[in-house]
Amino acid sequence: MDELNRKDVSEFKSMSKFPLVVILDQVRSGLNVGSVFRTADAFALEAVVCIGFTPVPPHREILKTALGSCDSVNWQHFEKIDSAIQHWKDKGYAIWALEQTQGSVPLETMNLKGQPTVLILGNEVTGVSDEALQLCDGCWEITQYGTKHSLNVAVSAGMAIYQWVRNFQDGQ
């Protein structure tokens, strides 16, 4: 690991982060939550926010896939999505959901260069809640070509986070 020049947890905690916050809106699987934590660590994101019944660390399924990233990534828990959204809106963050819905735009057309952003990801079956969608500035969707038109929430998170970081860096 020394050759990879990885930061330890204290170095990670003190470094500047990309101003992207991921909100998990009623995500049921701890394995998915842990995967999002791991991705948030990999891209040095501001925070992960768990809503309602979304499991929180130290849940055993989260720890299995997070591989220690629960120690490095800042996280919060809110019972209600509207409180979490308002918290981050008050800090000047744009609020975007990853959801296939009327008016959603392709992820690859993202144009928020330099804008601190909240990315909301929804439940594995029902998606982002209607309550959250009403409070968003917009929705992105991942262009898909197969028959299922859905992806695992952790896979979707990775794709969206990667695209956002690229977009943010291009705007700097």
What domain range includes position 127? 2-170
Query: What pLDDT is attached to residue 1?
Result: 58
Query: What pLDDT is attached to residue 171?
Result: 79
Query: Rounded CA gap, 87 and 140, in Å?
Result: 21
CATH of the domain at 22: 3.40.1280.10
Query: What pLDDT is attached to residue 46?
Result: 98
Query: What pLDDT is attached to residue 153?
Result: 98
pLDDT along the chain (172 residues), means of 10: 84 97 98 98 98 98 97 98 98 98 95 93 97 98 94 98 94 72
Query: Rounded CA gap, 67 and 69, in Å?
Result: 6
Burial class (CB in 10 A: 0-12, 13-18, 19+), 28: middle
Query: What pLDDT is attached to residue 37?
Result: 98
Q: How many domains, in total, are found in the chain?
A: 1
Nearest to 123 by CA among 21, 33, 57: 33
Entry pTM? 0.96
Residue 120 CA: distances (Å) to CA of 92, 100, 102, 132, 146: 16, 12, 16, 8, 24
155 phi and psi, to 5 degrees? -65, -45
